[in-house]
Amino acid sequence: MTAEQKAREIIEKWYEVLGGGFHPDDAGAEYVDFQSGKPALTAGQAEDFDEDMAVLAGLDVDQYALCLQVIAEKAIEDSFCEGCGTPLTEDNSAIGRPGKCVRCGIV
């Protein structure tokens, strides 16, 4: 596995957990659910995030540019229904988060 592949794996993992709103310099314990005010990650997840970000920082890649690139790619992927390819909008699903497609009903 190349450094870029490993970096992408880490970034995609945390995109799935935190969405596009994470930064590799932030500590995992700093993420807070803005609605509840509670930590967004468990203590174990926060520790895992910190470890992964340390690995990411040690790879021979531009972690900041790659984070932006991967997050943009994932956001585009997440804006289409996996089942039928229908563009997901505010009207039929939450963009970038699991929702229900009005065309095929996939959640």
pLDDT in tens, 51-78: 999 999 999 999 999 999 998 888 777 7
Determine whether 10 is exposed, middle or buried from the number of CB atoms within 10 Å of its CB (0-12, 13-18, 19+). buried
pLDDT at residue 78, rounded to an integer = 72
Between 80 and 22, the more confident residue is: 22
Other beta carbons less than 10 A from residue 7's beta carbon: 24
pTM: 0.74
Domains in the chain: boundaries: 3-73
pLDDT at residue 94, rounded to an integer = 43
pLDDT in tens, 11-45: 999 988 888 778 899 999 999 887 888 998 999 99
